[in-house]
Chain A
Amino acid sequence: MKYTLKINKKMVSFELLQQGDAYEITLDEKEYHAELIRIDSNLYSLIVNGSTYTIAIQKEGKRIDLFFKGDLFSYEIPSVRDKGGTENTSGIDKISAPMPGRVVKILKSIGDIVSEGEGVVVVEAMKMESELKTTIDGKITGISVKEGDTVDLGAHILTVESQDKK
């Protein structure tokens, strides 16, 4: 899939292919095999062609701040509806548990139409309830849990699929 992104006010283009947990990325006619793993709330380990790099990432609204070797790289996440610039994404939002917890309430049913930013499920973890939201417009196509279930970190909860005709 081809992407164009404006990082630090400069346009960059790349191609990306997902292979399981890893990605094949083509940038400036060079190929990179890469994987990104979260270490703690803001720190990530990026493995590129066998070398590891530590990167700090913070999302602030639509802006992503990425910090590497002392420099800050900022970009806006292009909206799904934003046809200019980006040929987006898989069109699938697989929502999973951000931490081990309990499903308190499922707010939608299969077949419901949801829009970006809408809450779909409430989970409780560490005595705090939080609402998980979809990041795309689409239809609920799968729910893997029921209310009251306990979920492990990373467990699949719900899938939203974009209804755009490709």
Chain B
Amino acid sequence: MYKKILIANRGEIAVRIIRAAKELGIKTVAVYSDADKNSLHVNLADEAFNIGKPLPSESYLVGKRIISVAKKAKCDGIHPGYGFLAENAEFAEECEKNKIDFIGPSPEAIKSMGDKITSREIAKEAKVPLVPGTAGEVKDSEALEIARGIGYPLMIKATAGGGGKGMRLVEKESEFENSLRMAKSEAKSAFNNDAVFIERFIQEPRHIEIQILGDKKGNVVHLFERECSIQRRHQKVVEEAPSPGVSEKTRIKMGEIAVKLAKKVSYSGAGTVEFIMDQKENFYFLEMNTRVQVEHPITEMITGIDIVQEMIKVSYGHELSIKQEDISIKGHAIECRVCAEDPDNNFLPTPGTVIYAKSPQGPGVRDDSSLFNGYEVTTFYDPMLSKLIVWSENREGAIKRMSRALSEYVVLGVKTNLGFLVRLMNDKDFISGKLDTGFIEKHKKLLKIPKDNSNIATIASAIILHSGIGVDNLKRDPRFTPWKYIARGSSVSRNSMF
């Protein structure tokens, strides 16, 4: 097994990898930017090295510097985590050249699956379902005929596109010619290129992904699906496994397809095949992530497999310790990404200092976090503070447990999305399991603080203010002990955040 690995990342994922390595008896080396000197990952690792300024491009993205630290510290492996250099094929190649294992897939697999067009071609060859449409530009003369073949509703998109420009939703054939003309002229003025392609429009799509694990001996297994349809700013915020919208039949089919695709590129390590699925369980390949995923813990919770440890073992050359027939789903897991952001202000990040943090405990609760009192939320990095994960025997139990755990969480100093997440867990539509990627857009009332809660806050503020002496000297009952507090809880009706 590896003697010592370097973790080329920060935050909770660096902590997660350090923990996995320690449990495997591997020494760990952390790297950190000037902004992260006091971070948890630096504290937990056996060794830590500064690699530069806070900007990622001057520290965590400087592959050369990271490799030279790894050589100096005599590491035999580098785990890239997610983000930063995790899907950078050149970095993986550089590692190999320096005789340090890149703990992840081969550079070739990263290259072929990382590129949208190449990966789409590979998927097509492997007969993986793709969203019906033209991969490339359509000629005006053929467009209507092609559209008929794809079926309505459909999307016209600029090939050079982005940001919704040159994009048109067409509900029926009578609108097609007009929409095509408008999309093209928009594309022309936005990108100086009027080429467009046509794709079927998936109504109320769900984001479903399959976790896979492969070794260097050609074995690939899948660890079932995760549903990640609750998104804001096109980024996931709540994930669960298994999906409440995937039947057993679809689950098996999706898993088999993901394994087939991974085998096609001789995939080793952890990876995720992402699909878009309509409400009738028709699913289509979206892309593959060639790294460990933020939401991997929920799969660990329902399968009992430590994905990060498996990654390290297969990278070293071990055969996968599990066979497909040995893997089954037990119970239900949900993950909430606790972020320093303001749901009531377009989920914009809220940089600042976390003055006080208290994470939840109790049965079935896991908090993958790098949070501590004094943690700085900077604009340099992702505003995610923690991943709160719960497991229960079924979905209903998991939702209740998540709601309970979320309401034990305390973060003072910066605004977070905790209140929103609590409300989401108690929303009847979320509980019913009818999810799609537009869920938050359709449930905007969840973004607002309910009046009853503001009133409680105002009452508390009134007392603090009247005591005239601020919080520090607020009267404490000397006879008061936590035991009395717990006892009183059972004697009066209780509505606390605990």
Contacts and interface: CB of A to CB of B under 8 A. Distances in A.
B363 interface: no
Given A5-B465, A59-B472, A92-B468, A67 B496 contact: no
Interface string A18-56: 100101010110001011111110111111101111111
Nearest to B421: A70
Contacts, number: 202
Contact of B464 (A50, A64, A70, A154): A64
B362 interface: no
B172 interface: no
B470 A59 contact: yes
Interface stretch (A93-101, A107-115, A139-147): A93-101
Contacts of B492: 47, 50-52
Interface string B401-415: 000001101111111
B471 interface: yes
A36 B469 contact: no
Given A27-B459, A89-B468, A68 B416 contact: no
A164 interface: no
B473 A89 contact: no
Contacts of B461: 5, 7, 64, 66, 73, 75
Contacts of B477: 21, 37-38, 154
Say what secondary structure dominates the interface of chain B. Answer: mixed
A21 B466 CA distance: 12
B3 to A, nearest CB: 43
Interface in B439-498: 449, 453-466, 468-478, 480, 482, 485, 488-489, 492-498
B381 to A, nearest CB: 21
B458 to A, nearest CB: 5
A23 to B, nearest CB: 6
A48 B456 CA distance: 8
A69 B469 contact: no
B82 interface: no
A70 B407 contact: yes
B464 A27 contact: no
Given A37-B477, A39-B485, A59-B471, A89 B466 contact: yes
A70 B459 contact: no
Contact of A70 (B358, B493, B497): B497
A69 B476 contact: no
Contact of A56 (B356, B414, B493): B356
Given A58-B412, A71-B453, 12 more contacts: A3-B465, A37-B477, A45-B485, A51-B494, A52-B492, A57-B412, A64-B464, A67-B412, A70-B421, A72-B412, A96-B473, A135-B468
23 contacts: A3-B465, A14-B458, A14-B459, A16-B462, A27-B458, A27-B462, A35-B463, A36-B463, A39-B482, A42-B410, A47-B492, A53-B496, A53-B497, A55-B460, A56-B412, A57-B471, A64-B464, A67-B410, A68-B453, A70-B409, A93-B469, A98-B472, A135-B473
Interface of B: 355-356, 358, 406-407, 409-416, 418-423, 449, 453-466, 468-478, 480, 482, 485, 488-489, 492-498
